[in-house]
Amino acid sequence: MKALRILAGVVLTAGLAIGGAGADEMRKVRIGTEGAYPPFNSIDTSGQLVGFDIDIANALCAAAKFECTFVVQDWDGIIPALQANKYDAIIASMSITEKRKEVVDFTGKYYNTPAKFIGAEGAEFDFTEGSGLAGMKIGVQGSTIHEDFARAKWPGAEVVTYATQDEANADLVSGRVDLVMADSVALLEGFLKTDGGQGFAFAGPDYNDPTFHGDGAGIAIRKGEQDLVDAFNKALVQIRADGTYQAINAKYFDFDVYGE
């Protein structure tokens, strides 16, 4: 996916108008997402976007009475494309970090899960920060919190970056890297529970360092568009209050991904 692709599928919406739209008018909102991070966002065999992020986005658009379309964008260019007005919001499991808040605004979180390593089942690793993992190769998706975290905490390791998480996982299977680090749920549902994940397992502790991992995943919006931030925040409160969020959560997970 090297080029932007706009996927058809206008969201049918209901509820109160938010952000100044009239009773018979729906605000058009374009949502950027990656489409390569299952089970949160991916493209199925029919070419349609699917996943937790996508269902949450649709529910939020319905609650806010937005007419939403999706734009698929490679991860390493996802914030620049927002700033270039290719879309209006990012719903793509983007962690709310201080570094990112320098260039975009965020809503509150819509989920918060820890990061973890995976490696060969039964293998032993020294995860001591600083001196541990010396000489090891750690696979991560580039331009992510996981890349920043791995480079900062294990300077003796070689951090290998990939355009997508699936590519990192594939190199773990082939033996080109010793470990992969990513969101624990993405690794569990998108890899360990698949045929390709056989023979691999979680290794080491959970990681949720606010300095690197932020305050959970939120919706990124261009600076200066507080009305859109407020509208999505209001819609998030609504879908959590009316049970929509919980129904979507149960569709994908047997635990609460919202976090404390």
Burial category of 169 from C-beta neighbours within 10 Å (exposed 0-12, middle 13-18, buried 19 and up): buried
Total Cβ atoms within 10 A of residue 55: 20
What is the CATH topology of the domain spanning 115-212?
Answer: D-Maltodextrin-Binding Protein; domain 2 (3.40.190)
Distance CA 87, CA 142 (A): 22
Domain residue extents for the chain:
5-112+215-252, 115-212
The H-or-E segment that residue 66 falls in is strand 66-72
| Averaged pLDDT in 10-residue chunks for the chain of 260 residues | 36 39 75 98 98 98 98 98 98 97 98 98 97 98 97 98 98 98 97 97 97 96 98 98 98 95
The residue type found at 15 is G
Identify whether the C-beta of residue 172 lies closer than 8 Å to the C-beta of residue 139: yes
Do residues 213 and 149 lie in contact, with contact meaning Cβ atoms separated by under 8 Å? Answer: yes
> Same CATH topology for 5-112+215-252 and 115-212?
yes
Residue with structure tokens 């919202």?
Answer: 258
Output the pLDDT for position 6. 35
Of 175, 118, 174, the C-alpha closest to 146 is 118
CA dist 120 and 172 (Å) reads 8
Beta sheet of 104-111, edge-to-edge order: 5-7, 66-72, 27-33, 89-95, 217-222, 104-111
Res 193: pLDDT = 97
The pLDDT score that the predictor gives to residue 25 is: 76
What's the confidence (pLDDT) of residue 11?
Answer: 40
pLDDT tens-digit profile of 12-64? 333 334 444 444 578 999 999 999 999 999 999 999 999 999 999 999 999 99
Q: Are 167 and 142 in contact (CB under 8 A)?
A: no
Crossing angle of helices 244-252 and 52-64, in 10° steps, is 170
Give the CATH architecture of domain 5-112+215-252. 3-Layer(aba) Sandwich (3.40)
Q: Which of 214, 215, 217 is nearest to 57 (CA)?
A: 217
Say if residue 155 is preceded by a cis peptide, omega within 30 of 0: no
pLDDT at 78: 98
CA distances from 235 to 26, 139, 258 (A): 14, 36, 15
Total Cβ atoms within 10 A of residue 117: 24
Burial 56-90 (b: 16+ CB within 10 A, else e): bbbbbbbbbbbbbbbbbbbbeebbebbeeebbbbb
